[in-house]
Structure 1
Amino acid sequence: MASVDLEDLCLHINNKISTVKKILQLRNIGQDPSLETVLSKIAHESQGLYLLLNKLEWEVQRQETLKNSLKELEISIKDDFTAATHLKENIPLHLPKKTKSGATELKVQSEVAIKSDESLPKKPAKEKKLIKEMALLTIQEFDSIPTYMKNRLTYDQINGFIEELTKAVVGKYKILHQPPKSMSNVVRKLFYRFQEEETKDTKGQYFIVDQDIKEFTNLKIDKRFHGMLNILRHCQRLREVRGKGLVRYTIF
């Protein structure tokens, strides 16, 4: 019995010695100049694998959303089919028919209504103003961003940032497209601030400032925020226009 215990102890000690040797070998490998290229290649491949996993995760989420949409569509089609089947099986034997006099009277009324409409001056239809929104990044654009610029930011995080900036743009220009008379005092103050921030360089363009981001989003204006702005400038989603002590983020 004691012999078996001694053998187990020897085996355990040998395993520990083997592990220590491997650790020392690995530490020496990291200091070996001849293996520097191999280690660099491994680091590069690891980065590529990380990006590939992010793409796969995004694709899985997209497929999950598509699957849910198809389920909802299937339920809707089944409901419509059930309703159509019920109508088909319950068609009444005799449908009411319009009398000739009733049809004539309806025709006369329609002609009178048309003539009266023609006599009234027509108001021009109001043109609906569309608000420009920043386009999301594509996978190809994300891959083209330098690694030092992305740091640890993911594809979804950058596009989420774009969506938050779009909220600020939409919130601001919805107010600017309203008549001031219909606004509350708080909204009217915003309206006049927006107008004061306009310059000749931003005329006809959509832009926001830091105060708009604080007003309409939950984004924090910190180092990470400016890092993402740098990425959007690189991808030509916005540019900065400075003047009057303000930085204006103009949307492309």
Structure 2
Amino acid sequence: MGDLEDISQHVSDKISLVQRMLDLSVIELPQHKVKKLELELFAITKLLEDFEECVNEQKKHLKDLQDIDESYQRSLKTVHHMKGNIPLHIPRKKDLVNGNEATTKQSDAADTQQPQAETVKKTSKTVVKEMEFVTMAEFESIPQYMRGRVSYDQLNAVVKCLNTTVTAKYNILHQSMKTLTNHSRKLQSRFKEQETKDTKGQFFVVDEDIREFTQMKVDKRFQGILNMLRHCQRLRELRGGGLTRYLLL
């Protein structure tokens, strides 16, 4: 801005000088005065050209700043959109499982969907595998007749329910008897009775386990969601002894 003001003042001074010389032109000027007037006019022309170049350069700078501002506003809008539309199920690592018994239940699995991913939880004896959340692409690949009115979030709420159940179950299974309460000992005994040669090395739950550790209703709708999870290759069923075992894949 300082350069423009300096140029403007200089041009103004030159114009004033020429104006005075023109005012004196009513009388005949000596040749050297005429020559000087020509030089002053030439200098003013050059200054005006420099001034115009400076103005054009400032316009270019202004355009660049406007482009930067527009880019910033677009980025800011994108960030606000991302902040307000964070997916409910973002894969994240989970802490190691401690040795305490998991006895608390979910208040409502459909209303308390928190992001988590397929993880391996460590204990002193073994690891507990959890089911990976269904991606949106996988959800959209499920046939419409199978999906019905089940939403993406409702499907992953069942995934979370199954993960809660399998974690609580195997946390109890891998503890020593003397560290368990009477109720947990009964559960551990039942868990072991339900195991077969086909479930060796596998992680599975049954309907009774889901009722024990969550508040999810094991009804017709729940069974329909399990069909969707089988379609997405998250689990498979193993029947026998009057039980349906849901094996995590």
1:167 aligns with 2:191: no
2:211 & 2:172 partners in 1: Cα distance? 16
CA contact (8 A) 2:125 2:174 kept: no
1:61 and 2:85 are equivalent in the alignment: yes
TM-score with structure 1 setting the length: 0.51
- Equivalent residue for 2:210, pick from 213, 230, 240: 213
Structure with larger Rg: 2
Q: Cα offset for 1:244?
A: 0.7
Which one has the bigger helix percentage?
1
Name the TM-score, length of structure 2 as normaliser: 0.51
Aligned identity (percent) is 53
**1:179 is matched with which residue?**
176
Quote the offset at 1:130 in angstroms: 2.1
> C-alpha deviations, 1:45-103, integer Å up to 9, x for none?
xxxxxxxxxxxx9994317999xxxxxxxxxxxxxxxxxxxxxxxxxxxxxxxxxxxxx
Secondary structure of 1:62's match?
coil
CA distance in 2, matches of 1:133, 1:225: 19
Asked if 1:189 is matched to 2:186, the reply is yes
Structure 2 gaps, min length 5: 1-80, 91-122
Q: 1:58 to 1:128 in 2, by over 3 A?
A: farther
1:230 match = 227
User: Aligned partners of 2:199 and 2:217: how far apart in 1?
Assistant: 25
Compared CA separation, residues 192 and 63, structure 1 to 2 (3 A): closer
- Check whether the contact 2:89–2:133 (CA below 8 A) recurs between aligned residues: no
Superposition CA RMSD, Å: 2.5
Unaligned runs of 5+ in 1: 1-56, 67-125
Number of positions where the alignment pairs a residue of Structure 1 with one of Structure 2:
137
CA distance in 2, matches of 1:58, 1:234: 30
Deviation, structure 1 residue 223 = 1.2
For 1:195 and 1:183, the matched residues in 2 are separated by 15
Match of 2:239 among 224, 239, 242: 242
Structure 1 59/194 Cα, relative in aligned 2: closer, same or farther at 3 Å? farther
What is the correspondence of 1:3-42 to structure 2 with a 5 Å cutoff?
A: none
Asked if 1 retains the 8 angstrom alpha-carbon contact of 2:165 and 2:209, the reply is: yes
